[in-house]
Amino acid sequence: MPEFALAAVSALDGYSQDFDGAVLREVTDLEIVSVAVPIAGQKKLAAKIKSAYGCAVPKPTTTTQSKDGLVRLVSTQADQFLLLFDTATPDGGDKVAAQLNTAGYITDQTDNWAVLRLSGPNSRTALERICPVDLHPDVFALNASARTHMEHLGVLVIRTEADAFLLLSARSSAKSFLHAVVVSVKNVT
Residues that bind another protein (CB under 8 A): 1-11, 34, 36, 38-40, 79-80, 90, 105, 107-113, 128-134, 136, 139, 151-153, 170-173, 175-177, 179-180, 183-184, 187
Query: Which residues lie below 8 Å from residue 67, measured CB to CB, with a gap of 6+?
Result: 53, 54, 55
The rounded distance, in Å, linking the Cα atoms of 137 and 158 is 12
Q: Which is nearer to another protein, 19 or 105 (CB)?
A: 105
Least distance in angstroms from the C-beta of 67 to another protein = 27
Query: Which residues lie below 8 Å from residue 46, measured CB to CB, with a gap of 6+?
Result: 56, 57
* Residue (of 92, 76, 79, 74) closest to 29 by Cα position: 92
Least distance in angstroms from the C-beta of 149 to another protein = 10
Q: Which is nearer to another protein, 22 or 67 (CB)?
A: 22
Least distance in angstroms from the C-beta of 56 to another protein = 20
> Which stretch of DSSP H or E encloses residue 71?
strand 71-77
Q: Which is nearer to another protein, 51 or 187 (CB)?
A: 187
Least distance in angstroms from the C-beta of 74 to another protein = 14
